[in-house]
Amino acid sequence: MKTNKNITHKDNNTKSNKTHQKSHKNRIKNWTAYNKSLVNRGDFYIAIEDALLTPVERTGKPGRPKLYSDLLIKVILEIREFIGGPFRQTAGLVSFIVRLAKLSVKVPDYTTLNKRMSRIDYNLNLEPKRIAGPIYLLVDSTGLKTCGEGEWKDHKHGRDKRRGWAKLHVGYDYDSEQIVAFEVTSESVADEKELPAILAQAKSSGILIKQMIGDGAYDSNELYKIVESNYIDDKKPELGKIGLLAPPPTNAVWHGKLKGDQLVEESGWETRNGYVGRCMIYGREIWKEMSGYHKRSLAETAMYRLKKAFTGELKSKKDEHRVKEIAIRIGLLNRWTNQGMPMYT
């Protein structure tokens, strides 16, 4: 009996054809510009040259004057995070670049970098032009390892030493894809405790917030009251108040009282009751689609990008240095985001 080879070949490649069609739809349409932005992420030469030639700021305060400008210290510390090395290797690399550029300037040593790190003020390199109008502020948290055994040792022999973690809480702008606020705490601090601080930090930067979106860890009626007590724009109360969107648990109950023949919802529970009621009517998955909850997944993407670019570990031992270290990483990530991101067809 003859076998129809054409049909067999077609059937065997059904999956690969579908995969090819799917990947074809998600092709990057701005590959030239995006490729250039990826290359520029590692080009620190111009920044180093400008920082080395920038004169040292004179404060007029008594004591020994600064030998190196704040800008130079910032750039070198950014390089340290980029290469993931300690202070000594970073100072050595910058000295090598200076010799290649034939610049007759002195580079700060590792002791100076360590001392100046905690005194430098860092910004998150936000691009105000990309933050247009009231934003969707996505909130999430992740852990960054500070000490403990390596993964391979744990895998082979199990853990015999407690790991240390720093907890990073971020506020992420859905449209501009920038991290606009962050807080660093110990691993024992609950996510909901830091939400007011993230909100206050974003507002202090002049950012208008339309809605905050978080996962189930932020499902607290107290948080709804705190967030909704803030206006989108304090100067324009007519724009309304900021909203909070968090999925209620599967066993969540509608808070209300029976008065006569009617159910009357409890005061202060209006927002959460609305979410619980819609989940009961439409189901949780449909409610998530209707409410726009899935925007929150971009916050997890930001965490992934941060860890892939700089690892999930912190090098610093002091708490104040860890905060600066994270601020530098976020600033670099925002700068790279502003240089160019992929756009899909």
Sheet holding 164-173, edge to edge: 179-186, 164-173, 135-147, 209-213, 243-245
Residue 112 shares a structural domain with residue 133: no
Residue 223 to residue 215: CA distance in whole angstroms: 13
Residue 77 to residue 215: CA distance in whole angstroms: 34
Per the structure, the count of domains in the chain is 2
Residue 161 shares a structural domain with residue 87: no
Residue 273 lies inside a defined structural domain of this protein: yes
* Domain containing residue 87: 24-121+320-345
Helices (H), ranges, the chain? 5-12, 14-25, 31-40, 45-53, 70-83, 87-101, 110-117, 151-157, 191-204, 221-228, 270-282, 284-291, 297-310, 319-339
Residue 189 lies inside a defined structural domain of this protein: yes
Residue 36 shares a structural domain with residue 154: no
Per-residue pLDDT of the chain (345 residues; tens, 9 = 90+): 444 545 444 444 444 444 444 445 678 888 899 898 888 888 877 777 778 778 887 777 787 778 888 888 999 999 999 999 999 999 999 999 888 878 778 889 999 999 999 888 888 999 888 888 899 999 999 999 987 666 677 767 776 666 789 999 999 999 999 999 999 999 999 999 999 999 999 999 999 999 999 999 999 989 999 999 999 999 999 999 999 999 999 988 888 876 777 777 888 888 999 999 999 999 999 999 999 999 999 999 999 999 999 999 999 888 899 999 999 999 999 999 998 888 887
The string over 37-59, giving b where at least 16 C-beta atoms fall within 10 Å of a residue's C-beta and e elsewhere, is beeeeeebeebbbebbeeeeeee
- State pTM to two decimals: 0.84
Residue 6 lies inside a defined structural domain of this protein: no
Return the DSSP state at 249.
P
Residue 283 shares a structural domain with residue 330: no
Residue 135 shares a structural domain with residue 115: no
Residue 59 lies inside a defined structural domain of this protein: yes
Residue 301 shares a structural domain with residue 198: yes
Residue 39 lies inside a defined structural domain of this protein: yes
Residue 95 shares a structural domain with residue 216: no
Residue 107 shares a structural domain with residue 230: no
Residue 181 shares a structural domain with residue 283: yes
